[in-house]
């Protein structure tokens, strides 16, 4: 009988670790689906911003990503007043290019993208498993989806939001996120209602962002997806300068 109790005790103390490991594996699978480590990625992003009391604004940008090298380039195509502006990310460094001044200025992944409630970090690959620890989890229903709801806390200060809740469906696709400040205040909610399949890979078709305090709403649509090779010269300051000549 003593040995039975010993076995039960060992199982009891081991289970939390096993559960934690399982949930961390879920994050790894989420990252794998949302990252393209074996290919380049390019797409057209249409960003529609609704701010209370203001006219609707639309931004169209071309996004080039090379996740294996932690690089991306974004070129603004619309509106005309912002055309030619761009972003270059190389590992942890991020620059914003203004064609009027012809200058590059340092930016941050945490900064707003083109004065919307999207952040520059929304355009790079997913690194949830590296940046966050799962500190709570439950299975829930989100509309028609059975999901894991994971409570995440950042393990470094390089992330945009220190606390997140993430809803992940059975296909390991993110369906919803809630982003919190250190105080626990809800700052932003993002919904991913639809995905598209391109060359066997899942890509969000549209996602919606709601800023809690300002009530700003942003819809981002992704179209014209390509996984063709991108020239190495695209991921450079010279490329952004040449786009505007």
Task: Give the model confidence (pLDDT) of 110-167 as tens digits.
Answer: 888 888 888 889 999 999 999 999 999 999 999 999 999 999 999 999 999 999 999 9
71-94: average pLDDT: 95
Taking CB atoms within 8 Å and a gap of at least 24, the contacts of 212-215 are: 212/185, 212/186, 212/187, 212/188, 213/187, 214/51, 214/52, 214/117, 215/52
Q: Taking residues 38-58, report their average pLDDT.
A: 95
Supply φ then ψ for residue 61, to 5 degrees.
Answer: -135, 150
* Cα–Cα nearest to 179, from 114, 137, 119, 92: 119
- For the chain, the structural domain boundaries read 33-243
**98: which strand partners?**
103
DSSP 42-107: EEEEEEEEE-TTS--EEEEEEEEEEGGGTEEEEEEEESGGGTT-EEEEETTEEEEEETTTTEEEE-
10 Cβ contact list (under 8 Å, min separation 6)? none
Percent pLDDT > 90 in the chain is 82
Mean pLDDT rounded to a whole number for the chain: 90
Report pLDDT for 3: 54
Write down the H helix ranges in the chain. Answer: 2-34, 128-131, 237-243
Residues belonging to the chain: 245
Q: Name residues whose C-beta falls within 8 Å of residue 43's C-beta, 6 or more positions apart in sequence.
A: 62, 63, 203, 222, 223, 224, 225, 226
pLDDT over threshold 70, residue 18: no
CATH number for region 33-243 = 2.50.20.10
Please identify which residue in the block is written with the tokens 């969000």.
204
Average pLDDT over residues 94-113: 92
- Token code pair at residue 148: 């894991």
Q: How far apart are CA 230 and CA 226, in angstroms?
A: 10
Global pTM exceeds 0.75: yes
For residue 220, the cross-strand partners are: 47, 207
pLDDT exceeds cutoff 50 at 10? no
pLDDT in tens, 161-192: 999 999 999 999 999 999 999 999 999 999 99
- What is the mean predicted confidence (pLDDT) over 186-210? 96
């Amino acid at each position: 009988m003593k040995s039975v109790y010993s076995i039960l005790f060992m199982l009891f103390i081991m289970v939390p670790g096993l559960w934690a490991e399982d949930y961390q594996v879920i994050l790894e699978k989420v990252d794998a689906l949302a990252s393209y480590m074996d290919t380049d990625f390019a797409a057209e992003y249409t960003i529609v911003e609704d701010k209370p009391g203001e006219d609707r604004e639309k931004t169209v940008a071309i996004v080039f990503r090379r996740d294996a090298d932690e690089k991306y380039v974004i070129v603004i195509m619309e509106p005309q007043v912002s055309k030619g502006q761009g972003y270059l990310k190389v590992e942890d460094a991020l620059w914003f290019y203004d064609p009027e001044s012809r200058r590059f200025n340092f930016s941050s992944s945490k900064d707003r993208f083109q004065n919307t409630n999207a952040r520059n970090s929304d355009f790079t690959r997913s690194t949830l498993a590296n940046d966050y620890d799962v500190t709570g989890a439950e299975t829930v229903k989100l509309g028609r989806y059975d999901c894991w709801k994971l409570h995440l806390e950042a393990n470094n200060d390089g992330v945009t939001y220190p606390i997140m809740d993430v809803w992940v469906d059975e296909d390991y696709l993110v369906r919803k996120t809630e982003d919190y400040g250190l105080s626990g205040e809800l700052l932003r909610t993002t919904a991913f209602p639809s995905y598209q399949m391109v060359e066997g890979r899942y890509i969000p078709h549209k996602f919606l962002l709601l800023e809690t305090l300002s009530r700003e709403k942003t819809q981002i649509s992704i179209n014209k997806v390509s996984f063709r090779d991108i020239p190495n010269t695209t991921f450079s300051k010279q490329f952004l300068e040449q786009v505007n000549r």
